[in-house]
Amino acid sequence: MKFFVDTADTDEIRDLANTGLVDGVTTNPSLVAKSGRKFLDVVEEICTIVDGPISAEVTATDYETMLKEGQKLAALAPNIAVKVPLTANGLKTCKALSDAGTMVNVTLCFSPGQAILAAKAGAAFISPFVGRLDDISTDGMHLIADICQIYSNYESFETEVLVASIRNPMHLIEAARMGAGVATLPPSVLRQLYKHPLTEAGLEAFLSDWKGTGQSILDD
């Protein structure tokens, strides 16, 4: 499974990229707004930090402007994945951009039918939002299972399932069990994966025993 980090905070991205665990980055207008910086500047900097796909979202809703915005974003760096909403105009833009060789991430997916449309439009990634479905008392992970099963039925579908709106480590684990290719995680959730009380207790015991020996590896 590929790990993308879901943020526009370049310091966070740089820190996590140094672990070797980050395969890509997803951003959206809300995340960039929180940074307080110019959108294009943020996206360009992220592309220099991570070699993998960097999702940058269009803000227009009509086809002509969406396409122009997508083309401008794609020209920023070869690893840009233009992010478009799952609307009729978004899918039309997806088709045009993907036919031109641009990676496209179709976002705001909430049903298997929408995911089928995105695959047929040539999307590189489909982004189902599991957390937002959970928020309205719907099983977001059931959507991931449905999409993974449907995509596996058709060799012509090359779209990767990019699980988005992840709220906790269990969302990630369940998505991995289902065979989703990508998960995009807030930095806080990615760091939660490190933590386990038995790991921490075991390390504390090892260090206590080592301290009792009075030795130092570096002094030997």
Mean pLDDT of the chain: 96
Inside any domain, residue 51: yes
The domain containing residue 141 runs over which residues? 2-212
38 is catalytic: no
- pLDDT for the residue numbered 34: 86
Inside any domain, residue 218: no
Inside any domain, residue 156: yes
- What is the number of structural domains in the chain? 1
Q: What is the mean pLDDT of residues 122-137?
A: 97
Inside any domain, residue 70: yes
Contact status, residue 33 vs residue 191, Cβ threshold 8 Å: no
Does residue 197 register a pLDDT over 70?
Answer: yes
Catalytic residue among 34, 83, 92, 195: 83
* CATH number assigned to the domain comprising residue 65: 3.20.20.70
- pLDDT for the residue numbered 220: 67
Inside any domain, residue 220: no
In the chain, DSSP finds a helix count (H) and a strand count (E) of 11, 8
Residue 54: how many other CB atoms lie within 10 Å? 27
Inside any domain, residue 207: yes
Contact status, residue 183 vs residue 160, Cβ threshold 8 Å: no
Inside any domain, residue 219: no
Q: How far apart are CA 124 and CA 158, in angstroms?
A: 7
pLDDT band at 33 (very low <50, low <70, confident <90, very high): confident
> Which amino acid belongs to residue 139?
D
Tens digit of pLDDT for each residue in 54-68? 999 999 999 999 999
pTM, whole model, 2 decimals?
0.93
Tens digit of pLDDT for each residue in 72-123? 999 999 999 999 999 999 999 999 999 999 999 999 999 999 999 999 999 9
Q: What is the mean pLDDT of residues 148-165?
A: 97
Percent of the chain with pLDDT over 90: 94
- pLDDT for the residue numbered 28: 87
- pLDDT for the residue numbered 219: 86
Inside any domain, residue 217: no
Q: Retrieve residue 44's tokens.
A: 């360009």
